Structure 1
Amino acid sequence: MSAAPAHARRLPLVLRNPSFGRVWAGQLLTQAANRMFQVGAVWWLVGFAGGEHRGLDSGLFLMVSTVPAVALAPVVARIVARHAHRTVLASAAAVAGTVAVAAAALARAEALPLAAAYVVGLALAGCQAVFDPCLTTSVPELVEDADIESATGFELSTQSVAGLCGGLLGPLVVDAGALAGVTAVCGAAYLLAAVLIGTTRFPHLGVGDGPAPERRTLRRVLAGLPFIRLVLICFAAANVFTTAVYVVMPLYTQEVLHATGSTVASLETALGAGTLLGSFTGGRLPGRPVTVGSMCLGVMAAALALPGLFAGHAAALASMAVAGWCVGVIGVRFVALFQRLVPADDKPAFFAVMQAVLGATFPVSSLVFGALGDHLAAGTLCLAQGAGLVPVALGLYWLGSRADAAGPPGRPDAPTPVPEGSVS
């Protein structure tokens, strides 16, 4: 092997594969914009526009923002399976950018009513519901087979970076420019992403840049993956309590810490930084995915309950950082496992249904915890989150034990091989 290829191999994936690098930049922009709008809008409802039902209002907004990923799963699967992935990704980003820019113009002219914020959130969430599973499905078209593990780790760590950036900027931009400011920034990010992805070549597509053949239905795909189906159900149950942080933390900031948007931003930053660290380190933890996942859920239960036991900024920051780390570890271990186990032709349907199953409980979580936030103290909600995760962690551990007893180790619950430098 020559020195030049060896040197190129040591470069980060986004540098030695320009196509993946451009799509990665588009991913960062769209997911950061989506997160910025969600966090910013929730803080705007809690800190500025909300009345005596701030908890319910913010919970309803988050519920609306998660409905498309669930309701549109069959439609998304068909779109991703039948159309060129580059076209789908660029179009989703362009539509989201157009909606956000129009909303910014109306908000600046004070012609955007409160209810319209929910409509904008629904539209942006719909575009993201198409973008995310299509992006995951597109990974093998952008990188060589040997780089799939690395690209998966990079994709998941980018979600963490995007969440960190969006969570940090959202409340700060709202404090500075209200809803008009945050929608304008989001619109610019979406449109730039559309340009980047739309001008990128997918080098491993196969024959041309045309539509993919017809795949199996969602029901048939899941029927052939019984172990993975049970794992997804466990994580959907966990999401009832983990995703409630997006309602609970703004309420905690307002009621317990009596702070401003900068504090919400710091908590979102801690959550994002922890998730990023988990994405980098998750592949290096010993043990099989289900074992590691159940342990991480147990640690997360203690972390989410911490602010309810010890009120204060430091406890809340530590809680978010540790919880984020657990989320990052679980994500990189299980998505990499799914990339290996799910047949290539089934991936469009599988990743669409994965997003739907994991997101199905988010609307319920947002609405329930938002409504409870108008009647219970924010510290009590933290304790409820932690307590709810304990049986889920035990259930996932039991599932792994049953898989061990049912067959030889190394199939669904085998360690996921993550090459050194998996996110490089």
Structure 2
Amino acid sequence: MTVPTAAPGRRLPLVLRNRAFGTVWVGQVLTQAAVRMFQVGTSWWLIGYAASGSGGLAAGLFMCVSTLPAVISAPLVARAITRCAHGSLLRAAAGGAGAAAAALAVWAGTSDLPVAAAYAAALALATCQAFFDPCLTTSVPELVEDEDIEAATGFELSTQSLAGLGGALLGALIVDGGGIAGLAAGCAVAYCAAAALITTVRFRTADAQASDTADAADAADAAADADTERAEAPPRRTLRQILGALPYVRAILLCFAAANLFTTAVFVVMPLYTASVLHGDGATVSLLEASLGAGTLLGSFTGARVPGRPSVVGSACLGAMALALAVPGLIAALPVIAGALLVTGWCVGVIGVRFVALFQRLVPTADKPAFFAVMQAVLGATFPVASLLFGLLGDHLSARTLCLIQAAGLVPAALALLLLPGHSRTADDPVTGPVADRGADSAAPSPAPAAGGAR
């Protein structure tokens, strides 16, 4: 029997033709689905069951706690990614989250769970995820060949949208059916399965990557050249130096950090909207969250095919998000709101694939561990503020008013991104050389087979 092959001119999706990357990608799908399921489910538990009198503030504080680790641990994460084997760090992060979720499930199953325990569990899970996500992004070149980096970035970033679908669909429904104990048990299973999958993968080291591209006869010369390059390599730069050397990237990060102050509030606003405006249950929350996740997934797999410079595409997407987020403030109809969230998610997916692929090209390899950690911190820095602010406002203003505030807040960020000056080209600069310029100024990164996607 012969092994089936793809038709001429076609290639299998990266996750099928690269077993190592596919396995790690599935592991990330499980971890982010688990953390999203926990966030959605616990937010609904706080609003609908545990703290109905001040549900907005309780849910906002919970989301704040869930995002703090990514912000405050960026330097520690960067050092850990630089010094530790990436496979070991990924396994430890997934395993630690599984243990925390299992402990919470046992506690909730044997006694009444205090709200503080849910906050503590959220802090533990978010800390593990703060190590997992940038570590996986940094390790992409250890799993795939250079020509597959963009496709790998699309698949890796599409994890969040898959997590949005799976986690949003299951989180609130599990809480309605099995309480917080069932929710924590499901998260524990997902995390432990991810750790087990990653254990089976062998990550290539830098030396192994070099040997894959060198002929056997030239192996000794390649090793000698690598030793010379390491000896002549400049000292590792600090986070401040990295961002200082990348003004174009820094400006983009600041624009999206400002936008995130309003976009990420949707995770607090939607449960409040469901309870106070739609008078729905966990199934309604699941539908709205799943609409957002489905849109993000669609944007992840089509983002690389959207024409235009990244800054123009990003500005247009932020403007479209502003219009979509205003819809729930004007029309309180479930199908219309679900459609608006679908559009919002698509914009998020497009922005993710275009800009993370851009950063992969602009940032020097030696700086990537620190950069992706600080990227997560910068983009997440406004999340705790947004969660607390909109949660507190949710106890005093209507959910429909909160939607309009979100929409208005995105307009300045969209204009600022559109007005960014073009990326300067410097042929002899390793950061802004020809490869970097191609990512910054071309119409679009070349579409990847079977995956255009992004976060």
Answer yes or no: same fold by TM over 0.5: yes
Offset at residue 187 of structure 1 (A) = 0.5
Q: Quick one: which amino acid aligns to residue 271 of structure 2?
A: P
Offset at residue 249 of structure 1 (A) = 0.3
**Quick check: 312-321 or 350-359, which moved more?**
312-321
Corresponding residue of 1:347: 368
Separation in 2, partners of 1:140, 1:316: 40
Offset at residue 223 of structure 1 (A) = 1.1
Matches for 1:111-126 after TM superposition, within 5 Å: 111-126=112-127
Offset at residue 4 of structure 1 (A) = 5.9
- Contact preservation (8 Å) 1:60, 1:366: yes
Corresponding residue of 1:137: 138
Q: Quick one: which amino acid aligns to residue 366 of structure 1?
A: S
Residues 10 and 385 (structure 1), Cα distance of their counterparts in 2 relative to 1, 3 Å cut: same
Offset at residue 275 of structure 1 (A) = 0.3
Offset at residue 191 of structure 1 (A) = 0.6
Corresponding residue of 1:419: 447
Q: Quick one: which amino acid aligns to residue 415 of structure 1?
A: A
Q: Is 1:403 the counterpart of 2:404 in the alignment?
A: no
How big is each residue's C-alpha offset from its partner over 1:124-178, in whole Å with a ceiling of 9 and x where there is no partner? 0000000000010010000000100110111112221122101111001111111
- Contact preservation (8 Å) 1:140, 1:204: no
SS in 1 for 2:422: helix
- Contact preservation (8 Å) 2:310, 2:355: yes
1:304 to 322, 325, 331: 325
Offset at residue 201 of structure 1 (A) = 0.8
Offset at residue 204 of structure 1 (A) = 5.7
Separation in 2, partners of 1:420, 1:335: 14
- Contact preservation (8 Å) 1:290, 1:413: no
How big is each residue's C-alpha offset from its partner over 1:15-61, in whole Å with a ceiling of 9 and x where there is no partner? 11110111011001000001000000000001111131100000000
Corresponding residue of 1:323: 344
Separation in 2, partners of 1:82, 1:21: 25
- Identity, in percent, stands at 62
Q: Is 1:96 the counterpart of 2:111 in the alignment?
A: no
Offset at residue 115 of structure 1 (A) = 0.7
- Contact preservation (8 Å) 2:70, 2:376: yes
Separation in 1, partners of 2:7, 2:244: 43
Separation in 2, partners of 1:8, 1:65: 45
Which sections of structure 1, spanning at least 5 residues, go unmatched? none
Corresponding residue of 1:35: 36
Separation in 1, partners of 2:399, 2:202: 49
1:338 to 336, 356, 359: 359
Offset at residue 418 of structure 1 (A) = 2.5
- Contact preservation (8 Å) 2:26, 2:194: yes
Q: Quick one: which amino acid aligns to residue 372 of structure 2?
A: F
Residues 205 and 14 (structure 1), Cα distance of their counterparts in 2 relative to 1, 3 Å cut: farther
Matches for 1:212-227 after TM superposition, within 5 Å: 215-227=236-248
- Contact preservation (8 Å) 2:361, 2:439: no
Separation in 2, partners of 1:164, 1:219: 36
- Contact preservation (8 Å) 2:6, 2:12: no
Offset at residue 314 of structure 1 (A) = 1.7
Offset at residue 411 of structure 1 (A) = 6.6
Report the TM-score, using the length of structure 2 for normalisation: 0.88
Corresponding residue of 2:16: 15
Separation in 2, partners of 1:22, 1:410: 31
Corresponding residue of 2:258: 237
Q: Is 1:44 the counterpart of 2:72 in the alignment?
A: no
SS in 2 for 1:415: coil
Corresponding residue of 1:269: 290
Q: Is 1:184 the counterpart of 2:203 in the alignment?
A: no
Residues 5 and 271 (structure 1), Cα distance of their counterparts in 2 relative to 1, 3 Å cut: closer
Separation in 1, partners of 2:379, 2:146: 27
Offset at residue 6 of structure 1 (A) = 7.7
